[in-house]
Amino acid sequence: MGSVKTRGRLPGRPAHRPEPGRVRPSRLRPRALAGLVAGVLLAVAAVLVLPFGGSEGGSPDRVAELEARERQRDAGLTRELVTTAERVRAGVTPVLDGLEEATGPGSATAEDVSRWREAVLAAAEPFEQRPSGGTEVNLARSGFAGAVTVAGRAVETYAASLEASGELAVRLRALAGELRRDAVVAWSVAATQLDVAGVATGIGHVHVFLDGTDPHGG
């Protein structure tokens, strides 16, 4: 018998071995991918819709309780602001009256300006701390603080007029008068806003207007 031939292999060459299968990344089928996306969206929606701390967090009773607390807080802040505004009004009224006279037919001295400065600084101090409350009381507090700031600028402008001469002194004195009027208007706006806050919190109408500026005649 002849020699047996080796099928599929030449002499001196290794036997053929199948290439190892390539590892392909697994891919989600369209239906599986759609299901995964839907699950994620439902989870996100649940987080956004459901209140923290259980299903009772967004109940009408809970909402009413929070609103009542806010009204009580704003009522307390409004009462405090009324007291503060009345005290500050007593301090800034002589300043505004003195500026009205000094920028009109009269005049003022450096000693007058020094007293005005002290009064304005004392008036600004209560507004340095601004507790956060409702919109109405926050706006009123900011309005009073702004009015005092403008009054202080009027005082400084008049002080500069005392150190100037000629046309410059006249212009500075006139500017001080304009700033003084701006301060009066700013105070009137703040007082109106405080009146709104009083009504909104159940306190009622509150009038802390400067003399002669109360629109209700109070």
DSSP string, 126-161: GGSS-----HHHHHHHHHHHHHHHHHHHHHHHHHHH
Q: Which pLDDT score, from 0 to 100, does residue 119 have?
A: 98
Measured CA to CA, the distance from residue 82 to residue 33 in angstroms comes to 63
For 105-125, write each residue's pLDDT tens digit: 999 999 999 999 999 999 999
Measured CA to CA, the distance from residue 147 to residue 149 in angstroms comes to 5
Is residue 53 very low, low, confident or very high in pLDDT (cuts 50, 70, 90)?
A: very low
Residues near 93 by Cβ (< 8 Å), separated by ≥ 6?
210, 211
Cα Rg of the chain (Å, integer)? 39
Per-domain boundaries in the chain: 61-200
Residue 165, pLDDT > 90, answer: yes
CB atoms inside a 10 Å sphere around CB 148: 26
Q: Which pLDDT score, from 0 to 100, does residue 167 have?
A: 97
Backbone angles phi, psi at 32, to 5 degrees: -65, -40
Residue 29, pLDDT > 50, answer: yes
Q: Which pLDDT score, from 0 to 100, does residue 132 have?
A: 83
71-89 in b/e form (b: 16+ CB < 10 A) is eebbbebbeebbebbeebb
Share of the chain above pLDDT 90, in %: 56
Measured CA to CA, the distance from residue 204 to residue 216 in angstroms comes to 14
